[in-house]
Amino acid sequence: MLNVRRPARGFTLIELMVSLVLALVVMAAVVTLVVAVIRSNRQTLQSTRLNQELRATLNLVANDLRRARSINDPLSAAVGPNPYANIQTPNGNTCAIYGYDGMHGARTWHVLRVDNNGRLGLRSISDATPPANCGDGTFAQLSSNQVDIRTITFQRVPANAPDDFVRQIDVTITGRLADTNPSAPPIERTMRQTVYVRSVGTGI
């Protein structure tokens, strides 16, 4: 008796379609997982970078404010009142006007504020009296182009303290990364730091 070998049975069309659908479902799940991981990593990196940028900017502001009222020769405070005794925070506490760097001759005043482009700037003005407001002019940019500063406030403590008696300023800064991807959700952070201002001359 002859053994007749049957031809190998292949996959049917329905089996192939089911296999294809299952493969597509698995691939879609893998792609979704990969995209979620990439997005999460991107947000983590952006958040870390934003925190670093805001912290650096806030430290720069705090260090400069700590120099307010300082004079080249501390002994000259005994001769007369300190012309830099006042620290002003006009425009709803959104900017700061203060001075340091000398007791005699041309006086230099410093103005800190955020411009319309979201950049923190510092302006130095040589005048006998401090400017009445933050005003316009040429400001040296202090913050990075990668960060949009949304708001900055200089809250005096106590709030009703006179300009020559300000001892503490709570600086609050809010910003976000200048992301070029409009579809990405913006990451925004707010940081706060307390600055204790020295005082020489008037207001001790």
Among 30-39, 104-113, 156-165, 171-180, the minimum mean pLDDT is found in 104-113
Neighbouring CB atoms inside 10 A of 145's CB total: 10
Can you give the pLDDT at residue 164? 79
Angle 61-106-103 (CA atoms, 0-180°, nearest 5)?
75
92-149 residue pLDDT tens:
899 999 987 654 556 788 999 998 889 999 998 888 788 888 887 788 898 888 889 9
- In angstroms, the CA 153 to CA 97 distance is 12
The number of beta carbons lying within 10 Å of the beta carbon of residue 178 is 14
Find the helix or strand (DSSP H, E) in which 56 lies. helix 13-66
pLDDT 10s digits, 66-92: 888 776 555 555 556 677 778 889 888
Span 180-204, pLDDT tens digits: 666 777 788 999 999 998 765 444 3
Mean pLDDT along residues 30-38? 87
User: Do residues 64 and 112 lie in contact, with contact meaning Cβ atoms separated by under 8 Å?
Assistant: yes
Please report the pLDDT score of residue 73 as a whole number: 57
